Chain A
Amino acid sequence: MSTMTLAKAITSGLDKVLESNDKALLMGEDIGKLGGVYRVTDGLQEKYGAHRVIDSPLGEAGIVGSAVGMALRGFSPLVEIQFDGFVFPAYSQITTQLAKMHARSEGRLTVPVVIRIPYGGGIGSIEHHSESPEALFAHTAGLRIITPSNANDAYWMIQQAAQCQDPVIYFEPKRRYWLKGEVDTETPALDAFKAQVVRGGEDATIVAYGPLVPVALAAAEAAREEGRSIEVIDLRSLSPIDFDTITESVQKTGRLIVTHEAPTFGGLGGEIAARISERAFLSLEAPVLRVGGFHMPYPISKVESQYLPDIDKLLEALDRSFAY
């Protein structure tokens, strides 16, 4: 057991990956000497050399596209996209090439590329530095998408992503990079593609992931003071989604709130609401409610607190659910 920030837990996980697999390599903008703009790869180039921790030219399509080529040659590249809003120059490579290579080759080719993307808002930044584009990728078959919410998961899930034979997008909740937590470096965390009940409860379920898991936990704690027992599920995997864990919870609680920073419209909350209404219709005491971002470009940072889901918004949604 050791205490680490979430960012350092990823660094340690990447270190393990590079140490255990000599075909693994890291590539991205400013990840070598600088250690990444968030220092997540700090010290790794020094330890493993510039040929395994590669400072790439500036070009996201080039980064992802060349990672595909490396994977075709048997390497396991883990690439970094500097910020969520900068992934779009690589969108074609990710969705038309990386995601489909295995299927197009009738299962003959595998492209085990991991794409790390710091995502989400609440950091007081300027445009394109606070977005949550996960649904745009979840819609594409062939990709797997995971996101840790704590240091222990961050440490293990990056290693699980690296071992996976499918392409994995690993969304890093950047406003939680400095969140400290216990990391058990001996016992692997739960399967990266499973959800986890992180707080047991009886009266309602909140599903959250990434940066909003601590918010959901705090809302559950606040609700407890009002006499309500709220179960909180950390989704962890956004594609595939572990609907079994959510279904089981909703069958018990009868009420479900799904929250994410991404806009509500067309977001993963809609998919979860639809699936749960199919799977647990007779258990539901209220419609599944969503607490997400508005249908607008991510707002200017001085007002982002009014945009982001927070404890009060979750409590308001719980009130509506209980009042139904």
Chain B
Amino acid sequence: MDLSFLAETWLALLQGLPLTIELAAGSVACGGLLAASLAGMRLSGSPFLGWPARAYVFVFRGTPLLVQMFLIYYGLGQFRPTLQAWGVWWFFREPSYCALLALSLNTAAYASEIIRGAILSVPHGQVEAALACGMGRWTRARRIVGPIALRQALPAYSNEIVSMVKATSLASIITLVEVTWIAQKLISQTFRSVEIFVAAGSIYLLLNIVVTRAVLLLEYWLSPHLRGAPAEPARLEAAHA
């Protein structure tokens, strides 16, 4: 393996990093909002809200992201006149919007289940205590259920964020020039697949190290109750003497 070639490749691949980060951050943000709404629909108790959410999760969790991306980009591309009539073609014309949409819709399905599970895991006693204090629905959600559920969801959610960072590599199939796309192009120019994929893999790895550390930090910050109490200052025995 040629180290200077590896370094050169690494720098070339970094040009795709901004797009990779944009896609990952954008889809985690949009997907997270959608996931929260879906979880809310599931937990609302109303079948009219619950069943559509179930169907959504069933479809988007049960089909490959690659297929979803192809369908949104090339599939919807064949309905251009209809989409133009609806005035949404500007959105579907752009490969980056299509990739963002596919990634967001996909992550929303997984994340809604994480959020739902986290909300259900809030101990019933704590909700009852909040009720006994006379808290209304929103106060309860904001002060009791929300913080506890968020803390519960974090480990699973960090998994989801990490897999979204990796899933952005699929955007290369719809012409987006992100890290994997550049890697494949370099391979077809130089025919040196090992070095280039090692370099590309290391970029995703570094990105995910940052992501997992950040979530761990958030987790630490949200769970002061799990840490030992700070050491008490030494008693001033002398004062009693």
Q: Do A and B bind each other?
A: no
